[in-house]
């Protein structure tokens, strides 16, 4: 006689079907938490195969998420009748054909990717040679008196370096020898002008003015997530701000030259001793100590040990006012630039050495090649080391009939060669990193 085995009776919570969707979000977040923690261990493995496999799996996950985003957006567009969908602009049609050529797609594959018909793609290909304002497929048309190749160079620079604004692009081209005003670049790009930055209120107390390099330094801390962000659906609605979910960065900026004097990476909130050691290393590398050090009133700075250490180093500490905007604006603006141009454009590594290498490459590029608006288009190294600014050299004048004595976009310089010279835009990438462009102009033969 067989005995029937009974399954255990597990009581379910009241109204559990209404909580399935919430539980799904919790489950996905828990899985992401576990994967981030496991990858954090794997990236530090002494076995190269495990490190490579971890990075490969991480990139595969990122690719899968991007594909899912595209699927959701395409599904929304597919619910709109084809005749009611917005039309592509003539310049967008050219971009689609360029993408098709790069992928080697046929007409049907291109049509499926961009939610049009194969006959539409065929029509675009047949009408490529059309000219004029009514052409079906167009490249961007010039809107000022500069030749077409000037306009193409500006647009190409914007395509390859999308984070550059019109002022930064004008300063970068000026350093390469082509003097264009920011308003001219704005008209070429056909973009609305960026809003002017808010004015910083004047400080009520004594203001320390930087008169030379190494006179005033700024220091501050920030966090950089290794994943997408810190949000998660369970209490307290965030991941712990420490490795393997985030890195802590400490940065030092010279006020006079805006030069990045040093950067340190920590796996958790640093102690006051670690910050003092970081400042000491920066002083050794610069072979000079600042007269003033400006920081906020965080616990690692607002303590007796830190104040005593600065006093022994003959450094006067200035603390930013609590709740006052602009007290440490210089270093905060650098941190925003660092995140916009680096950590939000690359996959932040979980391996300490790899992340340190990315930061070092960015700081070298920032100090040597990136023009600074506050410095009138000069780079931090040019001001810090007293070098001749690249934007003060002789310029290229592409307008053939432009009078030589006439003024140009600031700073005014002499014309090198003859008016009407043609050039080619050449872009290198510092350390083979596509987010660190080095722009130069070469005269065409």
Residue 362's CATH number: 3.30.420.10
Distance from C-alpha of 326 to C-alpha of 320, rounded to nearest angstrom:
8
Output phi, psi for 332, to 5 deg: -65, -35
User: pLDDT at position 7, please?
Assistant: 64
Q: Under a CB-based contact definition with an 8 Å cutoff, are residues 357 and 365 in contact?
A: no
Distance from C-alpha of 342 to C-alpha of 349, rounded to nearest angstrom:
12
Out of 344, 369, 394, pick the residue that ends a domain. 369
Q: Quote the DSSP letter at residue 116.
A: S
Output phi, psi for 242, to 5 deg: -155, 165
User: pLDDT at position 402, please?
Assistant: 80
User: pLDDT at position 321, please?
Assistant: 65
Output phi, psi for 396, to 5 deg: -95, 135
Evaluate whether residue 298 is within a structural domain: yes
User: Are residues 86 and 71 both part of a single domain?
Assistant: no
Out of 354, 369, 384, pick the residue that ends a domain. 369
End-to-end CA distance of the chain: 99
Angle between helices 304-312 and 272-286 (to 10 degrees): 20
- Which tokens sit at 419? 């008016």
User: Are residues 304 and 332 both part of a single domain?
Assistant: yes
User: Are residues 58 and 117 both part of a single domain?
Assistant: no
User: Are residues 347 and 328 both part of a single domain?
Assistant: yes
Evaluate whether residue 54 is within a structural domain: yes
Residue 264 burial class via C-beta count within 10 angstroms: exposed 0-12, middle 13-18, buried 19 and up: buried
User: Are residues 236 and 255 both part of a single domain?
Assistant: yes
User: pLDDT at position 10, please?
Assistant: 66
User: Are residues 220 and 362 both part of a single domain?
Assistant: yes
Domain that holds residue 73: 41-79
User: Are residues 221 and 295 both part of a single domain?
Assistant: yes
Alpha helix positions (H), 197-328:
272-286, 304-312
Structural domain count of the chain: 3
Say which residues have a Cβ less than 8 Å from residue 178's Cβ, sequence separation at least 6. Answer: 150, 153, 395, 396, 398, 423, 441
User: pLDDT at position 16, please?
Assistant: 67
Evaluate whether residue 32 is within a structural domain: no
Output phi, psi for 148, to 5 deg: -60, -35
User: pLDDT at position 218, please?
Assistant: 92
Distance from C-alpha of 440 to C-alpha of 420, rounded to nearest angstrom:
18
The residues of the chain scoring below 50 in pLDDT are 1, 142-144, 191-205
Evaluate whether residue 376 is within a structural domain: no
User: pLDDT at position 192, please?
Assistant: 41
**Closest of 36, 403, 1 to residue 239, by C-alpha:** 36
Evaluate whether residue 20 is within a structural domain: no
User: pLDDT at position 194, please?
Assistant: 42
User: Are residues 243 and 288 both part of a single domain?
Assistant: yes
Evaluate whether residue 349 is within a structural domain: yes
User: Are residues 223 and 293 both part of a single domain?
Assistant: yes
pTM above 0.85, yes or no: no
User: Are residues 220 and 291 both part of a single domain?
Assistant: yes
Say which residues have a Cβ less than 8 Å from residue 328's Cβ, sequence separation at least 6. Answer: 218, 220, 294, 295, 296, 320
- Which tokens sit at 215? 């006179």
Residue 380 burial class via C-beta count within 10 angstroms: exposed 0-12, middle 13-18, buried 19 and up: buried
Evaluate whether residue 264 is within a structural domain: yes
Please report where in the chains the tokens 């006439």 appear, as a residue.
406
- Which tokens sit at 348? 């932040």
Out of 352, 369, 386, pick the residue that ends a domain. 369
User: pLDDT at position 196, please?
Assistant: 47
User: pLDDT at position 266, please?
Assistant: 93
Evaluate whether residue 48 is within a structural domain: yes
User: Are residues 240 and 364 both part of a single domain?
Assistant: yes
User: Are residues 311 and 334 both part of a single domain?
Assistant: yes
């Amino acid at each position: 006689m067989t005995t029937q085995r009974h399954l255990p009776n597990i009581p379910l919570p009241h109204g559990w079907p209404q909580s399935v969707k919430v539980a799904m979000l919790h489950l996905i977040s828990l899985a992401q938490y576990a994967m981030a923690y496991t990858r954090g261990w794997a990236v530090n493995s002494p076995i190269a195969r495990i490190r490579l496999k971890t990075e490969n799996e991480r990139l595969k996950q990122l690719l899968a998420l991007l594909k899912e985003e595209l699927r959701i957006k395409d599904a929304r567009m597919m619910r709109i009748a084809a005749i009611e969908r917005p039309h592509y602009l003539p310049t967008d049609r050219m971009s689609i054909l360029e993408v098709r050529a790069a992928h080697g797609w046929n007409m049907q594959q291109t049509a499926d990717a961009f939610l049009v018909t194969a006959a539409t793609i065929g029509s675009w290909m047949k009408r490529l040679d059309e000219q004029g304002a009514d052409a079906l497929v167009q490249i961007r048309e010039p809107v000022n008196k500069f030749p077409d190749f000037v306009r193409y160079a500006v647009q190409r620079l914007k395509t390859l370096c999308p984070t550059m604004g019109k002022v930064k692009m004008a300063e970068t081209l000026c350093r390469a020898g082509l003097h264009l005003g920011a308003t001219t670049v704005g008209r070429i790009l056909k973009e609305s002008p960026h809003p002017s930055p808010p004015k910083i209120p004047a400080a009520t107390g004594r203001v320390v003015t930087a008169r030379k390099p190494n006179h005033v330094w700024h220091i501050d801390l920030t966090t950089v997530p290794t994943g997408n962000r810190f949000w998660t659906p369970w209490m307290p609605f965030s991941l712990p701000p420490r490795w393997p979910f985030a890195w802590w960065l400490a940065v030092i900026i010279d006020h006079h030259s805006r030069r990045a004097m040093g950067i340190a990476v920590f796996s958790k909130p640093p102690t006051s001793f670690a910050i003092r050691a970081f400042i000491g290393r920066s002083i050794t590398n610069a072979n000079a100590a600042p007269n003033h050090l400006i920081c906020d009133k965080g616990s690692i700075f607002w303590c007796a040990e830190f104040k005593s250490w600065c006093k022994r180093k003959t450094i006067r500490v200035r603390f930013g006012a609590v709740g006052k905007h602009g007290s440490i604006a210089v270093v905060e603006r650098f941190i925003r630039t660092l995140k916009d141009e680096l950590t939000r454009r690359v996959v932040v590594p979980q391996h300490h050495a790899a992340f340190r290498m990315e930061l070092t490459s960015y700081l070298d590029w920032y100090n040597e090649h990136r023009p600074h608006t506050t410095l009138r288009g000069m780079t931090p190294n040019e001001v810090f080391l007293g070098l001749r600014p690249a934007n003060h050299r002789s310029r290229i004048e592409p307008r053939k009939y432009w009078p030589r004595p006439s003024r140009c976009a600031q700073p005014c310089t002499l014309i090198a060669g003859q008016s009407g010279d043609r050039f080619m835009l050449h872009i290198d990438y510092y350390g083979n990193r596509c987010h660190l462009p080095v722009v130069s102009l070469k005269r065409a033969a």
